[in-house]
Structure 1
Amino acid sequence: MELPPAWQRPDPLRGLEKVPWTELSRGAGVDDLLRATAAGDPDACGRLERRLLDEDTVSEASVHAVPFLVELGANYKVPGASRDRVIFLLAAMALAGAGFTDDGRRTRRHWNPLRRELPRFAPDWITQARYAVAKGAPKVFDALGGAEVACSMALAIAVPEVAPKHILDVAQGIAFAGAHPQPLVEAACVALHLLLGEGVDDGWVRTIAQGDPELAHAYDNGGYPAHQPPAVTAQRMGYRFAFQAAYG
């Protein structure tokens, strides 16, 4: 019997040594952390998350790491716990709220009163990280297949524009089966709304927030950037629900 594609994928870290990690901003040691993560080292997973997404901030190294993270997330030879954390990391990087500039400062996402996003200081690692995740995400979705898991919902929430039809079916199964923890159901509902392209307004986001007292308090008390579009707020809330479903 032929193995599923996720078991057939080649070495997820092929080409790792060709990347000049020490020359990249915040890149020193990332190659070793990727190797240890691929081997299932949970401590390495945590350190990789902190390096590539430092307080919700992406860097040059983050963008260069995305193709390797995609391969880790799509390869069943990588231990399951590491795969899940890598997929959550990809989703979080696509939703990053800040990026490091060349001089080490943070440039954050901001919107004007019309909710149009304002330009940021170059280089714009926020946009580049999101594009890189969106480009690689279909491989991860294919590997996940019909698995009703939180990391699948997190990635669908982060890059709904590239999620395939079967992920919509997964979200529907989670949302309506009545057999999953409430945070996962909340995440699936957010994913469905985004995948179906349904409008997201402030009232709908406030309704989402009621599923978590901390989210509701943050939403009502300036815990989100001024003028942030409701769709972006919904994505960040949905990711939080998916993360809670997986890790409490």
Structure 2
Amino acid sequence: MELPPAWQRPDPLRGLEKTRWADLAHGAGVDDFLRRAAQGDQEACGELERRLLDDDTVSEASVRAVPFLVELGASYKVPGASRDRVIFLLAAMALAGAGFTWDGKRTRRRWNPLRRELPRVAPDWITQARYAVAKGAPKVFDALGGAEVACSMALAIAVPEVAPKHVVDVAQGIAFAGTHPQALVEAACVALHLLLDEATDDAWAHGIAQGDPELVHAYENGGFPAHQPAVVTAQLMGYRYAFQAAYGRPGAG
């Protein structure tokens, strides 16, 4: 019997040594953390999260690491706990709110009163990280197949424009089955809304927040950037719900 594609994929870290990680800002040790994460080392997964998404900020190392993270997320040879964390990291990097400049400062996503995004100081690692994740995400979706899991919803929320048709079916299955935890249902509803390219306004985003008192407080008290489009706010909320479904609320005992 032929193995599923996710089992047939080659070494997920092939070519890792071709990048001089130590020469990249925030890149020192990333190659070692990737190798350890591929073996299921959860401490290494945590180090990747801190190194590649430093306070919601991406860097050149983040962009260079995306293809390897994609391969880890798409390979069944990688232990499940590591795969899930890597996929969540990919989604979070696609939604990053800031990027490092060449001199180590942060340039953040900002919008004018018309909700048009303002240009950022070069190099724009925010856009490059999102494009890199969007390019690789179909491999991850194909590997996940019909699995009704939180990391799939997180990635669909982050890059809905590249999610294949079967992800819509997965989101519908979660949203309407009546058997899943509420946080996962909330995430699936956001994912489904984005996948179907339905209109997103402030009222809808405010409604999404109602499932989490902290989100309601943040939404009503300036916890999101000024003039941020409702769809971006909904994505960030949806990601939070997906994360809660997998790991509980941040900071919860």
* TM-score of the two chains, using structure 1 as the length reference: 1.00
Determine helix, strand or coil for the equivalent of 2:70. Answer: helix
Q: Supply the distance in 2 between the matched residues of 1:124 and 1:102 (Cα, whole angstroms).
A: 10
* Alignment-derived partner of residue 15 in structure 1: 15
Q: Is 2:66 the partner of 1:55?
A: no
Give the aligned partner of residue 31 of structure 1: 31
Between the aligned partners of 1:152 and 1:159, the Cα distance in structure 2 is: 11
| Residue pairs, 1:73-112, within 5 angstroms | 73-112=73-112
Calculate percent identity across the aligned residue pairs: 85
The CA deviation at 1:201 is 0.1
Which residue in 2 is equivalent to 1:208?
A: 208
User: Hey, what does 1:154 align to over in structure 2?
Assistant: 154
- 1: CA distance, partners of 2:160 / 2:84: 18
Q: For residues 130 and 212 of structure 1, what CA distance do their matches in structure 2 show?
A: 26
Partner in structure 1 of residue 68 of structure 2: 68
User: Structure 2: any 5+ residue segments left out of the alignment?
Assistant: 249-253
CA distance in 1, matches of 2:179, 2:165: 22
Specify the code of the residue in structure 2 equivalent to 1:158: A
Residue matched to 1:167? 167
Q: CA deviation at 1:25?
A: 1.5
Indicate the residue corresponding to 2:181 in structure 1: 181
Equivalent-residue separation in structure 2 for 1:27 and 1:208 (angstroms): 36
SS across alignment from 2:107: strand
Q: Deviation string for 1:144-180 (max 9, x for gaps)?
A: 0000000000000000000000000000000000000
Per-residue deviation at 1:50? Answer: 0.2
Give the TM-score normalised by structure 2: 0.98
2:34 corresponds to 1:40: no
- Amino acid in the other structure paired with 1:54: D
Amino acid at match of 2:71: E
Q: CA RMSD in A?
A: 0.4
Task: Find runs of 4+ consecutive structure 1 residues off by over 4 angstroms.
Answer: none
Q: Say whether 1:144 aligns with 2:139.
A: no
Q: Distance in 1 between matches of 2:34 and 2:211?
A: 35
What secondary structure sits across from 2:77 in the alignment?
A: coil
Q: Which runs of 5+ in 1 are unaligned?
A: none
1:202 alignment partner AA: D
